[in-house]
Structure 1
Amino acid sequence: MLTIDDLDVWFGYPPDRVDAVRNAAFSVAKGESFGLVGESGSGKSTILRAVAGLIDSWSGRIEVDGHPVHARRRDRAFYKTVQMVFQDPYASLHPRHSVDAVLSEALSLQGMDDIDRRIAKLLEDVGLGRGFRFRYPHQLSGGQRQRVAIARALAAEPRLLLLDEPTSALDVSVQAEILNLLTDLRAEHGLTYVMVSHDLAVVGHICDRLAVMQHGRIVEVMSVEALRKGAGEQEYTRHLIAASG
């Protein structure tokens, strides 16, 4: 579903250019959930943003479902296939747009019809009743806002969801609810996930495999089983696992 090869991502121009990601390579199978982990600033979210089209200063190869992605242009078909859920549900929803307006706009942008029925179905899919439809973000909890953000991403009926720390801004009690929701949605809709997280427990809960990043490079790709056993091949990976325990 996603192939990344020899990916470099940078910001700025020489002599001030910063190389945020260097020589990254991994692939994610259809239906798989793949994690990107590492300390803050290691390049995890930068990869996600390059895939999503939010950063165009990159070189290398990005393919989605076998189709090459270009740095400076994305068509509607891309956004029907790929959607992103951001870290902060407070910042990602417009404060003066109701849930109905947010979902209506997302559906309209994708050229969907029967919007009324689709909104009801999206709210049901993310565990929010119809009573939430005409509420505004300030009337919702953090977990409810993130459910709306997930519903907005699902409006396009994508097959690949990019999840950028989707639970880190939430209370611990709510984190598990959102992770369980994401697990259920993946099974129900046959979704593929790429999830960025600094929390190895979160990745262990939802992912099949993961890549460990350090200083903009992928140092190791491993299975979640190896993660649970603490069986990293690289010293940095073992350090990361020990620190999370």
Structure 2
Amino acid sequence: MTDTAIDIQNLDVWFGSGRDRSVAVSQARFAVEQGESFGIVGESGSGKSTILRAIAGLVPTWSGDMIVAGEALGPRRSKAFYRKVQMVFQDPYASLHPRQTVDRVLSEAMGLHGLTDIDSRIPRLMENVGLGPSFRFRFPHQLSGGQRQRVAIARALACSPQILLLDEPTSALDVSVQAEILNLLTDLRRDHGLTYIMVSHDLGVVGHLCERIAVMKQGRIVEVLDVETMRRLEAADPYTRQLLDSSIQSSRSV
């Protein structure tokens, strides 16, 4: 029997207060098993990235129950949480300090978690994400978009986490580079026994990486289905069927 890595129940997330309060996520519930890759899809503004940010502790205004990597989450995240859970953001250029080399980015990430032997760990970490030694002392502006995202993934892996939260990790990349990053994430998950939650607006991208998918509309999860059901176009909810139809039409027009 597999263990549950992430259990989200009755999650509400909001911004503002009083008359200015805006509900971004309402009564979201899902569970992700250890080693599973779980996708969350929906149109822009549907609340999918907000769920990841709430899990990561980047949104303080939420209610409900979140148990992640065996820890019941409250208003603050423990140091132990960030050893187990890391996030990869959408824009690899914005998420990397422009004046820090790859070496500095990875060294700081390891130092924050109290790791030693940093100098010997960095080459192995870079090799894990497909970057050779020549990239170690380059700055972000000297890297392509795909290379920057590889650095961002390496930074997330620096503390050997159990869970990666992936917020549209390929949407800022060219289509050919998207495939490379998705294949890298697939290999890393297999080699390191990682658990993923991946947010995307692209059903094709999520279908490549995930076994099950939650579909969001206006802050609510309307359906959770497995990828094979999605590929057979057997979704139960009309909105999911609409998304699938749009995805098919979009792929035919390319």
Tell me, yes or no, whether TM beats 0.5. yes
Residue aligned with 1:158, SS: coil
Distance 1:106 1:142 in 2: 20
Distance 1:43 1:231 in 2: 24
Tell me which stretches of 4 or more aligned residues in structure 1 moved more than 3 Å. none
TM-score (norm 1): 0.99
Partner of 1:173: 176
Contact 2:71 2:81 in 1 (8 A): no
Q: Structure 2 matches for 1:23-62, cutoff 5 A?
A: 23-62=27-66
State percent identity of aligned pairs: 68
Task: State the Cα deviation string for residues 131-190 of structure 1 (Å, max 9, x = none).
Answer: 100000000000000000000000011000000000000001100000000000000000
Distance 1:195 1:34 in 2: 6
Residue aligned with 2:20, SS: coil
Partner of 1:141: 144
Task: State the Cα deviation string for residues 55-112 of structure 1 (Å, max 9, x = none).
Answer: 01000001012320112x1111000000000000110000000000000000000100
1:92 to 87, 90, 95: 95
Tell me if 1:204 matches 2:207.
yes
Q: Structure 2 matches for 1:45-124, cutoff 5 A?
A: 45-71=49-75, 73-124=76-127
Partner of 2:251: none
Tell me the number of residue pairs that the alignment of Structure 1 and Structure 2 aligns.
244
Aligned AA (1:75): S
Residue aligned with 1:151, SS: helix
Alpha-carbon shift at residue 50 of structure 1 (Å): 0.2
Tell me if 1:18 matches 2:12.
no
Residue aligned with 1:243, SS: helix
Q: Which runs of 5+ in 2 are unaligned?
A: 249-254
Partner of 1:235: 238
Contact 2:87 2:165 in 1 (8 A): yes
Q: Which runs of 5+ in 1 are unaligned?
A: none
Partner of 1:3: 7
Distance 1:74 1:235 in 2: 37
Residue aligned with 2:10, SS: strand
Partner of 1:128: 131
Residue aligned with 2:81, SS: helix
Distance 1:106 1:25 in 2: 31
